[in-house]
Amino acid sequence: MWLQYEPITEKKVKDQYQRVLRHVVIKEDDPIILSAKNELEIAVKEMLDYEINWAEDVQDANFVIGNKKELAGFLEEGQRCLLADLADEGFIVQTINQKSYLVGNTDAGVMYGIHHFIRLMQMKADPSQLHIADQPKNQFRMINQWDNLDGSVERGYSGKSIFYQNGKIVKDKARIHDYARYLSSIGINSICINNVNVWEEETYFITKKYLPEIKEIADIFSSYAIRLYLSINFASPITIDGLSTADPLDGEVKQWWKDKVAEIYDYIPDFGGFIVKADSEHRPGPFTYNRDHADGANMLAEVLEPYDGKVIWRCFVYNCLQDWRDRATDRARAAYDHFKPLDGRFHENVLLQIKNGPLDFQVREPVSPLLGAMSQTNQLIEFQVAQEYTGQQIDLCYLIPQWKQVLAFDTHIKGPGSTISEIVAGNIHVYKHSGIAAVSNIGNDENWTGHTLAQANLYGYGRLTWDPSLSSQQIAEEWIIQTFGNQKEVLAKIEKMLLSSWKIYENYTAPLGVGWMVTPGIHYGPNIDGYEYSRWGTYHFADREGIGVDRTIETGTGYTSQYEEPNRFIYNILSECPDELLLFFHHVPYKYTLKNGETVIQHIYNTHFKGYEQVEDLMDIWNSLEHVMDNARFKHVQDRLYRQKMNAKEWRDQINSYFYRKSGIADQYNRTIY
């Protein structure tokens, strides 16, 4: 992926870095520092064809590396002040009097500082006058693996699991080690290594049957400053030891979890804690015992608290058997309706993990109104790097622009400026713990992500969680240069492909925020009326007269009432609603005129014809790079784009045909609709 460390051929740049790295001292031999040192050695050897000369004494070195505790006697007052203003994971890189310093507040800070320095080398930045002070915006920067013990990956589009194979944890953990390197290089500090849907055998991950090998995995990630978590089955006391109940208020159940947590920490002293999916999509939870989510989460939080462990409780809770025609059971309302009344009841080591939208990682949906709505409850926002509904790493869809829109959304929870970015950073409410989590997109495919260009989503996710102010373009450029080199033609063309791809995907799939219209179960390819649980009719409510879901206060599900003003007014009033979310909030006639002057039906036709043509343009751009691209990656991406073209054609033809027949309104340009 992006740690290829291609040789630097420009003599000036090479000489500059060799001078900076002439005599290097690194203080301490903690596992994290040793990993960072090893990463620097690999990078310097590969990029500069140079063996680092490691010095013993700080006075003899011209590049000094270490944490502020180890280097306390060698730092100037200005450096100490800079570090004092940074978070624990922050670092400085400075050149003072011909001597360079890379100092972290902690060992993790040193690790991130070295990765930053290596990134500068890859980008061929001038190292002669370094003056960097950097820290992560978000405390939690997490990856969730949806991997299963049989080697499958739920919503995995990159081959099998790198953690499990044929019902066992893999013996050869070299690929896990490489994954830790990748995640650390982009600032990820937490990982959960098993599916949130915990099936029967995976329930035993928290027992001595699996803990010795899970400890080996935890140690690998720990050496790269990444803390390991496990998803648990809420009914574990019943499944593992045959208790008659998993009631969170039952004394025997509490003692069972207390003993179990002590056992886990005996194996893994820096274990992060549990992720819990409960009372959703047939998973067990506290509802079985007439308890609520606070009861369930707090029981676990109490037994984890002595070890500094956390409970990450997912808010993806809804009745998947509900009747969509019922005004009171709009799935979009579910997370807010379940959790908002519980604000203030969760322990301080509980974090609620909330999907970025109210539904399920659609190509376009509004921001979840639950984000920021609970002023006394820690929150994580959840993204999906895996492209479940956005092309499954077959179709190109660079998701950073989407996530940046979400993070920039102003909730007005505490007036203007209450953006999602500031909320999850803990700057709007006084959250003790907060941040960002996402579903991973990697597997055991040779290129890790199925589609080579989908690597940009994993890279971009990490960079965005560290610094949400980075632009989509900046992130794309960093990834392209580190992955493909810095040829101007390659950079310009792949950047153009990435930055246009989300809108292209939206153009040929679900229009105007309506969502779904995708093959049930598979979630790839069009099925206009398809949605697993909409047994009572279409999810999009299209009929002869119009299309869209009425979520207004006056005549619909009332979902718009969950937002603060002015968002409530904007979404609730038809004339104010943004076009891109129109059908999410309103049922409108096909001839309703959008703000761009198109009718809804003509917009559907236009975008679906355009989306297909845009995919053809993507193919042309990529094909023009054949002369400067290695054959393996060129052919691979070319094949993926061909498959995307077939998918776009299918979407175009099915969507246009469906709505032509439903509405009876012809395309004004008389294009062929099958």
pLDDT in tens, 562-590: 999 999 999 999 999 999 999 999 999 99
Q: What is the per-residue pLDDT for 537?
A: 59
Maximum C-alpha span of the chain = 82
Give the Å distances, CA to CA, from 252 to 183, 247, 408, 559: 39, 9, 46, 40
Instruction: Output 286-289 pairs: Cβ under 8 A, ≥24 positions apart.
Output: 286/234, 286/247, 286/248, 288/246, 288/247, 289/245, 289/246, 289/247, 289/248, 289/249, 289/250
The answer to whether 571 touches 560, Cβ cutoff 8 Å, is yes
- The two beta strands, 350-355 and 310-314, are parallel
**221 to each of 209, 595, 605, 628, how far by Cα in Å?**
21, 50, 49, 36
Instruction: Report the distance separating Cα 292 and Cα 350, nearest Å.
Output: 14
In this prediction, residue 322 carries a pLDDT of 65
Separation in Å, CA 112 to CA 90, 187, 663: 8, 7, 56
DSSP type of residue 445: S
Check whether 324 has a pLDDT greater than 80.
no
Q: How far apart are CA 43 and CA 47, in angstroms?
A: 6
CA distance 499 to 503: 9
Q: Which amino acid is at 602?
A: Q
Lowest mean pLDDT among 75-79, 225-229, 478-482, 638-642: 75-79
CA atoms of 93 and 348, how far apart (whole Å): 34
Q: Is 465 helix (H, G, I), strand (E, B) or coil?
A: helix
Q: Which of 6, 250, 360, 579 is catalytic?
A: 360
Alpha helices in 429-575 (DSSP H): 455-466, 472-484, 488-508, 567-572
Q: Which residue has the higher pLDDT, 280 or 274?
A: 274
Share of the chain above pLDDT 70, in %: 98
Residues 6+ apart with CB under 8 A from 398: 453, 456, 457, 460, 472, 476, 498, 499, 501, 502
Q: pLDDT (tens digit, 9 = 90+) per residue, 496-549?
A: 999 999 999 999 999 999 999 999 989 999 999 987 765 555 789 999 999 999
pLDDT of residue 163: 98
Distance, in Å, from the CA atom of 348 to the CA atom of 353, rounded to the nearest integer, reads 14
Measured distance between the N- and C-terminal CA atoms of the chain, rounded to whole angstroms: 42
pLDDT band of residue 27 (cuts 50, 70, 90) is: confident
The pLDDT score that the predictor gives to residue 320 is 66
**How many angstroms separate the CA atoms of 410 and 214, rounded?**
41
Burial class (CB in 10 A: 0-12, 13-18, 19+), 489: exposed
* Cα gap 368→506, rounded to integer Å: 20
Give the chain's radius of gyration (CA, Å): 26
How far CA 465 is from CA of 72, 189, 435, 437, 476, in Å, comes to 30, 10, 8, 9, 15
Q: Residues of the chain with pLDDT > 90: what percent?
A: 92
Q: DSSP 3-state assignment of 349?
A: coil
CB atoms within 10 A of CB 566: 12
Q: What are phi and psi of 69, to 5 degrees?
A: -70, -45
- Annotated active-site residue in 107, 330, 382, 388: 388
For residue 555, give the 3-state DSSP assignment: coil
Residue 95 and residue 64: Cα distance in Å, rounded?
10
pLDDT tens profile 429-454? 999 999 999 999 999 999 999 999 99
Backbone angles phi, psi at 501, to 5 degrees: -70, -35
Question: In the predicted model, what is the mean pLDDT of residues 657-666?
Answer: 97
Of 101, 118, 130, nearest to 36 (Cα)? 118
**Rounded-to-integer distance, Cα 490 and Cα 495, Å:** 8
The number of helices, as runs of H, and strands, as runs of E, in the chain is 19, 17
pLDDT tens per residue, range 325-376: 565 678 899 999 999 999 999 999 999 999 999 999 999 999 999 999 999 9
Contact 170, 207 (CB under 8 A): no
Distance CA 597, CA 668 (A): 13
Spot the catalytic one: 178, 270, 281, 653.
281
| Amino acid type, 64 | V
- pLDDT value at residue 534: 57
Stretch 627-635: mean pLDDT: 97
Residue type, 194: N
Give just the sign of the alpha carbon dihedral 103, 109, 111, 117: negative
Task: Please confirm, yes or no, whether 360 is among the known catalytic residues.
Answer: yes
Count CB-CB contacts under 10 A for residue 401.
Answer: 21
Q: What is the pLDDT of residue 282?
A: 80
Other CB atoms within a 10 A radius of the CB of residue 124 amount to 17
Which residue type sits at 345? R
pLDDT at 492 over 90: yes
What are the pLDDT digits (tens) for 455-489? 999 999 999 999 999 999 999 999 999 999 999 99
Paired tokens of 164: 């499990």
- CA pair distance 219, 225, nearest whole angstrom: 10
Q: Is the pTM of this model over 0.95?
A: yes
pLDDT over 90 at 23, yes or no: yes
Q: Is 56 exposed, middle or buried (0-12, 13-18, 19+ CB in 10 A)?
A: exposed
DSSP state, residue 660: H
Mean pLDDT score of the chain:
95
Angstrom distance (rounded) from CA 254 to CA 304: 11
Say whether 281 is catalytic.
Answer: yes
pLDDT at 54 over 80: yes
Q: How far apart are CA 160 and CA 158, in angstroms?
A: 7
Buried b (16+ CB within 10 A) or exposed e, 277-304: bbbbeebbbbbebebbbbbbbbbbbbbb
C-alpha dist (Å) from residue 373 to 336, 341, 639: 8, 10, 45
State pLDDT tens for residues 125-175: 999 878 999 999 999 999 999 999 999 999 999 999 999 999 999 999 999
Q: How many residues does the chain have?
A: 674
